[in-house]
Amino acid sequence: MRVKNIITGNTAIAALALVSAPANAQASDADVTALKTELAELKAKLAALTEKVEDNSKQANTASAPEVKWKGAPEIKDEEGWSFKPRGRIQYDFGTVDAPSSINDPGLGFANEARRIRLGASGKIPGGFGYKLEADFSGGDVNLTDAFFTYQDKGLTLTLGQQNPFQGLEELSSSNDTSFIERAAYTDAFSFERNVGISAQYKTGPVLLQAGVFTDNINALGNDANNSIGFDARVVAMPKIGGAQAHFGASYHYRDLGDAVTPRRYRQRPLVHFTDTRFINTGNIGGAKSEMNYGLEAAVISGRFHAAAETHWLKLRRTGALPDPTFFGDSIEAGLFLTDDTRGYKNGVFKGVNVSNPVGKGGLGALQFNIRYDHLDLVDAGIVGGIQDSYQASLIWTPINYVRFMINYAKMDYDMATILAAGSGDYNADILAGRFQLSF
């Protein structure tokens, strides 16, 4: 180093001058001792300076190298607490809807669509803060899905912005991790969706408490549709029972629809999104003032096996003497991995599988078989929207983490359907669909 070379050179000159002095020089013993002391002090200062320069160099090199991990996409972190991760998903669906030939509907037969194409980012900010921003580009439009800011302190999480209210296990579990191509029928029929609001979540041991106040979806702003206000609350117990992960939950939801009394409509597709056909449909229900919804949920994961059940009631309150209908939906499912894998779970929702033997490393990937019964009843208080029962089976292959292929079959049984088959609302339909998915 330059500092070390300069000091070493000066020290050598001083030492040479001392040694080469004439024998008859008038240097006293005291002068020699003082010079030796000065040389020792210079050497000590040089050692200290060299050590300090080396430490500073090490610290500079460490600070300039942020940590990068791969989680389907690079996640970048630094020592101060900043992080950034790109995120997204591609879900491409295809399949066919086969109903009685007497039904002449353009939504029947083969179809395909880009179900979800999302891109965004999430990360953390020093001080316990965080963020997530994600948009969906499918269907030719750009719609914000998540757009929120968070603060975390131990078990408490506060969230402000467009987020998913606490509507139950099936709705809160990501579409990347569901057992079937579409969620249970009641989630769409009862208009479960993301909304703008402020919420709090607190986790203590195996108990999770969630509550928030919400208005409409951010994509409805500017359409005179942003005047509703609602309250959502959910409590979950997540005990470990032996080697199994159990889940028990209950939720409550209330929504004031706003000053303007507007019609409400409840309907559902036949468990695939690539058709616009709805065999059950209440049509517009006038005089709607508010909605009250409550649900119960339970699940268990034990090794390769999982099971889940959920039920929801929705009561629509109307003006004056108009009757208040109550609609009902529920589902129950079970699944088994045919490979040595298990379904993921964290903080009250299902998560994806972490493939134990991925393709490319000598393995087959993860293979899972699931069955489900799904029920939706839209008939009450003089409203005849129809009843839909479905019996479903799915096969999911996850060759590596973040990639999966699904095939889904459903036998649909309709009663009092609003689309008639040869004059009758009671008939069956068959659905066969597949999906390719990439998520990161």
Query: pLDDT tens digits, residue range 204-238?
Result: 999 999 999 999 999 886 545 658 899 999 999 99
Buried b (16+ CB within 10 A) or exposed e, 414-428: bebbbbebeeebebe
Cα three-residue angle 137-142-146, rounded to 5 degrees: 85
Q: Mean pLDDT, to the nearest integer, of 132-143?
A: 94
Segment among 67-71, 285-289, 321-325, 370-374 with least mean pLDDT: 67-71
How far is C-alpha 244 from the chain's CA centre? Answer: 23
Tell me what pLDDT residue 46 has: 72
Task: At 352, list the tokens.
Answer: 């994806």
SS3 215: coil
C-alpha to C-alpha distance for 118 and 91, rounded to whole angstroms: 9
For residue 62, the surrounding DSSP H or E stretch is helix 29-63
Cβ count near 319 (within 10 Å):
10
Tell me what pLDDT residue 19 has: 42
Compute φ and ψ for 104, nearest 5 degrees: -100, 90
Provide the pLDDT confidence category of residue 71 given band limits of 50, 70 and 90: confident
Query: Of 24 and 263, which is predicted with more confidence?
Result: 263
Which distant-in-sequence residues (6+ apart) come within 8 Å of 187 by Cβ? 167, 168, 170, 171
DSSP 351: E
Provide the pLDDT confidence category of residue 260 given band limits of 50, 70 and 90: low
The answer to whether 109 touches 133, Cβ cutoff 8 Å, is no
Tell me what pLDDT residue 51 has: 77
How far is C-alpha 264 from the chain's CA centre? Answer: 29
Q: Mean pLDDT, to the nearest integer, of 65-69?
A: 86
Task: At 173, list the tokens.
Answer: 């579990």
Cβ count near 429 (within 10 Å):
24
E-strand stretches of 66-206: 67-70, 74-77, 83-98, 109-125, 129-136, 143-153, 156-163, 195-204
Strands 403-415 and 326-337: unpaired
The answer to whether 217 touches 240, Cβ cutoff 8 Å, is no
C-alpha to C-alpha distance for 293 and 257, rounded to whole angstroms: 13
> Measuring CA to CA, how many Å separate 313 from each of 250, 269, 293?
12, 19, 6
Query: Percentage of the chain surpassing pLDDT 70?
Result: 89
Task: At 85, list the tokens.
Answer: 């991760």
Tell me what pLDDT residue 184 has: 98
Compute φ and ψ for 103, nearest 5 degrees: -85, 115
Identity of the residue numbered 404: R
Write down the mean pLDDT value for the chain: 90
C-alpha to C-alpha distance for 386 and 425, rounded to whole angstroms: 8
Query: Of 258 and 326, which is predicted with more confidence?
Result: 326
Q: How far apart are the first and last CA of the chain?
A: 47
Predicted confidence (pLDDT) per residue in 342-368, tens digit: 999 999 999 999 999 999 999 999 999
Tell me what pLDDT residue 1 has: 46
Tell me what pLDDT residue 61 has: 55
The answer to whether 414 touches 388, Cβ cutoff 8 Å, is yes
Q: Mean pLDDT, to the nearest integer, of 380-394?
A: 98
Predicted confidence (pLDDT) per residue in 143-174, tens digit: 999 999 999 999 999 999 999 999 999 999 99
Tell me what pLDDT residue 63 has: 53
Predicted confidence (pLDDT) per residue in 74-108, tens digit: 999 999 999 999 999 999 999 999 999 999 999 99
pTM of the model: 0.84
Tell me what pLDDT residue 5 has: 47
Q: Mean pLDDT, to the nearest integer, of 63-67?
A: 72
Query: Percentage of the chain surpassing pLDDT 90?
Result: 79
Which residues make beta-bridge pairs with 427?
Answer: 414
The answer to whether 64 touches 58, Cβ cutoff 8 Å, is no
Q: For residue 113, is pLDDT > 90?
A: yes
> Measuring CA to CA, how many Å separate 385 from each of 69, 127, 252, 313, 369?
50, 51, 24, 15, 32
Which distant-in-sequence residues (6+ apart) come within 8 Å of 77 by Cβ? 66, 67, 68, 69, 83, 124
Predicted confidence (pLDDT) per residue in 1-45, tens digit: 444 444 444 444 444 343 444 444 445 677 778 777 877 777 777
Q: For residue 408, is pLDDT > 90?
A: yes
Helices (H), 271-380: none
Q: For residue 324, is pLDDT > 90?
A: yes
